[in-house]
Amino acid sequence: MEPAVLDDIIRRLLEVRGRPGKQVQLSEAEIRQLCGASREIFLQQPNLLELEAPIKICGDIHGQYSDLLRLFEYGGLPPHANYLFLGDYVDRGKQSLETICLLLAYKIKYPENFFLLRGNHECASINRIYGFFDECKRRFNVRLWKTFTDCFNCLPVAALIDEKILCMHGGLSPDLHNLDQIRNLARPTDVPDTGLLCDLLWSDPSKDVQGWGMNDRGVSFTFGADKVAEFLQKHDLDLICRAHQVVEDGYEFFANRQLLTIFSAPNYCGEFDNAGAMMSVDETLMCSFQILKPADKKSKFNFGHATPAKPGNASGGVNVFGSTTTAKPGNTPAGVKVNARTVILSILYVFLPRHQSMMIIALIYRG
């Protein structure tokens, strides 16, 4: 792909910063170039990415393009920061095309600094139902949606940061016994209904089960804290980082802070009062969180009051709101109560194996 063409695409996609909902109408030929060039890069790189800190990690975006631009505003535009996104770029939100096009453009521009994993919505049978197909058909045609499908089928599915933090979209699998199994997954491929690849994109942690349990989504499994601890100890890891579920404060710890759920789409679907989060991991594996409160279109970004959190209570006592998707069409997350708290800065201490102390800092932006 010609560098000048790529730079112009990125420029136009960034021009709408500060104008939520403003569309960027790329040409079909430009989008096809993005899909083709990024697909080649995905296949050249391993299915289990081996990355180094410092890096910023983001969860679900779901077509909330203005919030993606806010993430880049706070974290710094590539290549000033390295990024890892954990999947679910399309569906639900109104601007899946802008969202995925900017992400693919940055992947092409900075292939060694910018990384995208596959989510369960980067799958034709899911995004055919939950909005991306309709957006492609309305703004372009079905053929372009199929081109995206060919690209999504080549996305990597997991990342390992400094051999200590394992990242994926969904979670663990009863079929996952060693990391080489992830490396050896074939691509391109659709997402099967069962098995390792399915679980990596679909499974969920649950405090209500020990071992493996049934998943309310109707696909894959839930897993208990015991399975998290067992897996980390066996593979000499410190943390599992995943997305896939809406959490009130944008991030939530599980299993004695051995697993983290991160979700980066604030005010999800316009129906939730959740914050979005982005995690920064520095060279010493110190983790910090930037929290995006739902944007108020009538005011500029500003800071609020600071309230300390209790040491060791890494999640702040938040609860998972619900699933971002289920296998059954039309089954959307349940409603939630509004969170009226104005916590802006929390300093939390997390003790993980092999590290004397990992400081968790949450910096919350209110729009």
CB 157 within 8 A of CB 185: yes
pLDDT value for 210: 97
pLDDT of residue 128: 98
- 355 catalytically annotated: no
Give the pLDDT confidence score for residue 294 in this predicted structure.
Answer: 75
Joined together, the tokens standing for residue 196 give 């390792």
Residue 99 to residue 76: CA distance in whole angstroms: 17
Burial group, residue 70, by CB count within 10 angstroms (0-12, 13-18, 19+): buried
Q: What is the pLDDT of residue 295?
A: 61
For residues 296 and 144, give the distance between their C-alpha atoms in angstroms, rounded to a whole number: 34
Structural tokens at position 332: 């959307």
| DSSP per position, 234-299 | HHT-SEEEE--EEETTSEEEETTTTEEEEB--TTGGGT----EEEEEE-TT--EEEEEEPPP-TTS
**What pLDDT was estimated at residue 327?**
41
Which is the catalytic residue, given 62, 80, 121, 177?
121
Distance (Å, whole) CA 139 – CA 180 = 41
Residues of the chain with pLDDT under 70: 295-367
Q: Whole-angstrom Cα distance, residue 181 to residue 97?
A: 32
What is the spatial distance between Cα 223 and Cα 265, in angstroms, rounded to a whole number? 24
Tens-place pLDDT, residues 28-51: 999 999 999 999 999 999 999 999
What gap in Å lies between CA 311 and CA 289, rounded to an integer?
Answer: 16
Q: Are 221 and 213 in contact (CB under 8 A)?
A: yes
